[in-house]
Amino acid sequence: MHAPAELHGSFCSVCSKVLRPQPSRQNLQPRLRSHQRRYSTKQQRMAVCPQAVSAPEAPPSKAPPAEVTIRRRAPAGSSTQPCGQFTFKVPQNDGEEPQNKLEEIVWYKAKEIEDMKYIMPTERLAVMMKAAPPPRDFIGALKAKAEATGRPALIAEVKKASPSKGVIQPNFDPAKIAKAYEAGGAACISVLTCARYFQGSFDNLLAIRKAGVNCPLLCKEFVVEAYQLFKARACGADAVLLIAAVLPNKDLQYLMRAARKIKLQILLEVHSIGELERVLQLDLEGTMLGINNRDLQTFEVDLDNSKIILSSPAGQEAQRRGLLFAGESGIFTPEHVTHAQQAGCQAILVGESLVKESDQAAAVRQLLA
């Protein structure tokens, strides 16, 4: 007696038992082996429904990247200590070295901020913030550009170098590059201000704002203290980057309140579903979300990370709330832009592939074609 057509793939003609349908042959195998042990002859083994045996294997799904916690300070303190004109290296035990480049950068920020405060006390920054031009609507500019073009709006990044690539643009003129991005069709400009690892500067941010660039400006800094927010606003930033992997929710809550107080909008960067779930617990007024496609453990780039995160329940909830998403890292071609758009990103942040070109305006136009 044959099984009805609708039960093929789940009906065993040997024992007449109906098995719950499985998504792939791989999942069926343990249950089929159980039947094979029960009916040991070759003829009985071959009697198992052929459609069940030949069910196609489902392709393995990509595992989303795990949430990574960046330690804010070195466990044993600084690895070097100055003494007059000399600097002594302090021996470090296992686990006391940075676990990746992002953690190394964050650990260095403590010393960098200390030096910045000595040169420019907070009181002087407060005076500069009052004199700074009024902030512009960074998120609004991205939404308007995406609506007008039907393509993800571009945040084009001004940076001279990176830890992995070294110097990207030797003929580096931040104001000239920013104007070229604007002429090519960028909606907003990102300015890297990290000096040690990216050869950036808050002076670059100030120079771009003074040059009359109309695009809203993002200060791309590894923020760990409110002082950096004040510095960004004093130098003309309209928005600032905050990284969920670096900042627990209590710190994020404090820094986001401080940013809103001085009229800075926020690009809140996540790398994983877990980070997105965590930051959705916060008040996200004046905030957009960025998805970094770079794995913090391996530093490999996977454009599918945006799709994985946005298709998750947390991603669907964020989209239901109307939050704007930007895809970050690994975007070099118009096909990559389309990939980000299909994943659900209404904006993209692109640096290396644009800034390395001699004609950045043409590079922008080509990317957005």
Q: What angle do CA 10, 15, 17 make, to 5 degrees?
A: 40
In angstroms, the CA 20 to CA 36 distance is 17
CB distance 182 to 145 below 8 Å: no
**Residue 299: predicted pLDDT:** 78
- Percent of the chain whose pLDDT exceeds 70: 74
Residue 202 confidence (pLDDT) above 70: yes
What are the angstrom distances between the C-alpha of 91 and each of 3, 47, 96? 72, 69, 9
Q: What angle do CA 329, 98, 252 make, to 5 degrees?
A: 60
CB distance 146 to 186 below 8 Å: no
Predicted model pTM: 0.76
* Mean pLDDT, range 170-186, rounded to an integer: 97
CB distance 252 to 279 below 8 Å: yes
* Mean pLDDT, range 98-111, rounded to an integer: 80
**Residue 99: predicted pLDDT:** 73
**Residue 216: predicted pLDDT:** 98
pLDDT in tens, 326-340: 999 999 999 999 999
Is 110 or 35 the better-scoring residue by pLDDT?
Answer: 110
What are the angstrom distances between the C-alpha of 19 and each of 25, 47, 365? 13, 15, 56
Is 266 or 62 the better-scoring residue by pLDDT?
Answer: 266
**Residue 198: predicted pLDDT:** 92
pLDDT in tens, 12-57: 444 444 444 444 444 545 554 554 444 444 444 334 443 433 444 4
CB distance 191 to 208 below 8 Å: yes
In angstroms, the CA 268 to CA 246 distance is 11
The rounded mean pLDDT for the chain is 83
pLDDT in tens, 208-259: 999 999 999 999 999 999 999 999 999 999 999 999 999 999 999 999 999 9
pLDDT band at 67 (very low <50, low <70, confident <90, very high): low
Residue 186 confidence (pLDDT) above 60: yes
Residue 295 confidence (pLDDT) above 80: yes
Residue 223 identity: V
**Residue 297: predicted pLDDT:** 75
pLDDT in tens, 251-260: 999 999 999 9
